[in-house]
Structures are given as C-alpha cells and as structure tokens.
Amino acid sequence: MLLREVAYARPSSLAEALEILAADDGARALAGGQTLINVMKARAGSPDTLVDLNGLHELRGIELGADGTLEIGAMTTYTEIMASSEARARPILGEVCAQIADVQVRNRGTIGGNVCTNDPTNHLPPLLAALGAQFTIQGAGGERTVAADAFFLGVYLTAVGPGELLTRIRVPAGRNDGFAAVTLGVEGTCIVSAAASLNGSVRLALGCVDAVPVVLTPSSTDADAVRQAVRDAALEPPSDVHASSEYRRHLAEVLAVRATDQAQRS
C-alpha cells in the first residue's frame, strides 16, 4: 500500500532535529523505518512530517569506557552492534541482535528504534532491562537519564515525550548474561522471551508477558528458585492466536531457567 502524503525533513544536527520535533506536533522521528514505515503503510499511524535521524552522526557509534561501560548511540544498527569490537565487552548484545529478523531488518533497524517502539514482542526491551541499561533522553529543556523501569511505560509507550529523542543507551560492565526466546518461526518476533544477568545478583527480565518487561530478582540461580520467582510474579499474559495465556506462563518459567543457565555458562 502506498504511503499517505507526508513531509520529510533530514536535519544535520541533533539541535535541528529537536527544533523541528518541538515545532510540529505531527512530526515523528524516523530511524531504521522497519516499524514506522509499516505502521504508516497499514494506516495505523500517519505522521505529518518524518524527521529522518539518519544524518545525525552524534547518535551513532559505540564507545567502551575504561570501566567496561558501553555507550551506544540510539541510531546504531543491529548489524553495527554485531560487528563492533567494543560491543563484545557485553557479548549478549551482538548475540541477541543476530536473532532479530533477517539481514535487511538488521541492516536498517536501530537499537533506539527497537526500544522506542516498545513492542512487547521485540527482543531488546527485556534484554536491556535485564542488563540494567540507562536511557538518555534529550529535549528542548536539556537531557535526562532514566533506568529501564522508568523508560518502558506501556505497549508502544516510553518515557520519550513529544519533542524529545532518545540519544544513547548506557550498558554497565558485565559478562554473565543469557537470553532465550520462543519465536514465530526462525526469524520471527517473540512469543515469550527471557533475559538474565548474573552480575552481582540475579536479574531476570521477561518479555511478551505484560505491556513492559517484567523484571524479577530470584534468590539464586537454582532452577527451582528461578521457576518460583516467575510463579510469584503472578503473571497474567495475554492470549492470542499464537499462544494462550497459560502457555505463555509456562514458557516464561522454562525460558527464565534457560536464560539463567546460559548466563551461568557464559
């Protein structure tokens, strides 16, 4: 289906992009376009102006700090993360990006677009929640940094407000991480996903069982403790054509154990 007529702006600086977004209620950021353009084609959304972020070099790239912290620009693609020697400081990032869809989507899709969409079936919201990532948001009034629990607010809803942009994501140092998912086919989105990080304590995040990633802190890595933590969360996942609520609850336990096992072995 053809797109409705839409204005297009390609700012050459972050300041210019923020100015255009602040001046026009109907303007939306365009990152990789792998969700937004499909949404526009389906007429589920129809921005008046697309503000293309692809010319903003300040939103790209991955820096590795001396303490092992990664700073990832919001416009960094999945393929760039997979290929980055800096990102290997947290190998799970590249491993999970490699599981997202196909080469075309990975070449265009960005880490910022993935989390700003906050589609519960996306791979990166639960992963970044488990890793304890911090999200930097910039608007006319300056910038602020929020943790995952303050960033993911609902389905397709995040802390990035009108006129604002996610600029970068900070991932703390660590190596003992795991991710497990049951997907729709080999390259499909998740039916349920689980990410685990064992750096200090156990931190689990479950995807597709609620509007936002559900973060849990099991008392140990023992499979029974992990299963109990998932049961204690009293999840009420949605039922749909892909899985019943009961099956998603079952998958959440199984995948939480698998992700924790991988984290222990990594």
Ligand X SMILES: Cc1cc2nc3c(=O)[nH]c(=O)nc-3n(C[C@H](O)[C@H](O)[C@H](O)COP(=O)(O)OP(=O)(O)OC[C@H]3O[C@@H](n4cnc5c(N)ncnc54)[C@H](O)[C@@H]3O)c2cc1C
Residue in 112, 178, 218, 237 binding ligand X, rule: CB under 6 A:
112
Nearer to ligand X, 74 or 226 (CB): 74
Q: How far is CA 188 from the centre of its chain?
A: 15
- 138 binds ligand X per the rule CB under 6 A: no
State the nearest-atom distance from the C-beta of 137 to ligand X, in Å.
8
Provide CB contacts within 8 A for 45, sequence distance 6+. 28, 36, 39
Tell me how far apart the alpha carbons of residues 266 and 90 are, in angstroms, rounded to a whole number: 11
Dihedral, CA of residue 30, residue 34, residue 37 and residue 39, to nearest 10? -110
Give the range of 4-12, 115-123, 234-242, 256-264 binding ligand X by CB under 6 A.
Answer: 115-123
Residue in 18, 27, 34, 257 binding ligand X, rule: CB under 6 A:
34
One-letter amino acid for residue 57 of the chain: H
Between helix 223-232 and helix 245-265 the angle, nearest 10°, is 140
Dihedral pair phi/psi, residue 17, rounded to 5°: -60, -45
State the nearest-atom distance from the C-beta of 153 to ligand X, in Å.
13
Give the range of 2-10, 105-113, 199-207, 209-217 binding ligand X by CB under 6 A.
Answer: 105-113
Tokens, residue 99: 């599981």
Residue in 28, 203, 248, 249 binding ligand X, rule: CB under 6 A:
28
Residue in 18, 27, 36, 252 binding ligand X, rule: CB under 6 A:
36
- 129 binds ligand X per the rule CB under 6 A: no
Q: Which residues in the 169-198 window bind ligand X by CB under 6 A?
A: 188-189
Nearer to ligand X, 149 or 187 (CB): 187
Tokens, residue 205: 């995040």
Tell me how far apart the alpha carbons of residues 52 and 39 are, in angstroms, rounded to a whole number: 16
Residue in 105, 146, 153, 225 binding ligand X, rule: CB under 6 A:
105
- 29 binds ligand X per the rule CB under 6 A: yes
Nearer to ligand X, 113 or 218 (CB): 113
Kindly report the length of the chain: 266
Q: Which residue's structure tokens are 């998912």?
A: 181
State the nearest-atom distance from the C-beta of 82 to ligand X, in Å.
13
Residue in 109, 120, 126, 218 binding ligand X, rule: CB under 6 A:
109
Residue in 32, 132, 174, 178 binding ligand X, rule: CB under 6 A:
32
Nearer to ligand X, 113 or 213 (CB): 113
Tokens, residue 259: 């992700």
One-letter amino acid for residue 240 of the chain: D
State the nearest-atom distance from the C-beta of 106 to ligand X, in Å.
8
Q: Which residue's structure tokens are 């600029």?
A: 167
**Residue 195: beta bridge partners?**
179, 205
Q: 234-253: string of b/e by CB count within 10 Å (b at 16+)?
A: ebebeeeebbeeeebbebbb
Give the interface with ligand X as residue ranges (CB under 6 A): 28-36, 38, 53, 74, 100-101, 105, 108-110, 112-114, 116-117, 122-124, 160, 165-166, 188-189
